[in-house]
């Protein structure tokens, strides 16, 4: 049981480049989310999904795009990378809303130069 698999772990991008962070879970979870973690700011929600075919914006969605074509996969796309997107990104999943255990990916350290 792999849990939540997130790749890549480290990435350096040049300003203006695009890339996709991959996230996959094998627990048949409905809820999947992407967060960014910046010093002193805690985890902030970028986009989330409550099931295949359904996505919605979180607190800081600008510059990011997501899709949920299957229950398992929830990729995060950076459309045109900016230095302000330098951050640590975490994907998370859980079975449903409410009191269900949260599972996080190992994180992706992204630097935009």
Partner 1 sequence: KNEVEQSPQNLTAQEGEFITINCSYSVGISALHWLQQHPGGGIVSLFMLSSGKKKHGRLIATINIQEKHSSLHITASHPRDSAVYICAPTRHSGGGADGLTFGKGTHLIIQP
- Minimum distance of partner 1 from residue 16's CB (angstroms): 28
Which one, 50 or 82, has the nearer CB to partner 1?
A: 50
Residues of this chain, 29-48, that bind partner 1 according to CB under 8 A: 31, 33, 40-43, 45, 48
Tokens of 54: 């359904």
Write the CB contacts of 41 (distance below 8 Å, at least 6 apart in sequence).
none
CA distance 51 to 108: 23
In this chain, which of 19, 27, 50, 82 binds partner 1, going by CB under 8 A?
A: 50
- Interaction between residue 27 and partner 1 (CB under 8 A): no
Q: How many residues bind partner 1 (CB under 8 A)?
A: 26
Measured from the CB of residue 99, what is the shortest distance to partner 1 in angstroms?
Answer: 3
Residues ≥6 apart with Cβ < 8 Å to 42 = none
Q: DSSP string spanning 14-56?
A: -TT--EEEEEEESS--SEEEEEEEETTTEEEEEEEEEETTEEE
Binding residues (CB under 8 A) for partner 1: these are 31, 33, 40-43, 45, 48, 50, 56, 58-59, 90, 92, 96-107
């Amino acid at each position: 049981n792999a849990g939540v698999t997130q790749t890549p772990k480290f990435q350096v991008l040049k300003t203006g480049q695009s890339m996709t962070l991959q996230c996959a879970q094998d627990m048949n979870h409905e809820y999947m989310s992407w967060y960014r973690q910046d010093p002193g700011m805690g985890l902030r929600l970028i986009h989330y999904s409550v099931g295949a075919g359904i996505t919605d914006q979180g607190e800081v969605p600008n510059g990011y795009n997501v899709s949920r074509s299957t229950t398992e996969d929830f990729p995060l796309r950076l459309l045109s990378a900016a230095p302000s997107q330098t951050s640590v990104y975490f994907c998370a999943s859980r079975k449903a809303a409410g009191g269900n255990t949260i599972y996080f990916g190992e994180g992706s350290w992204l630097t935009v130069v």
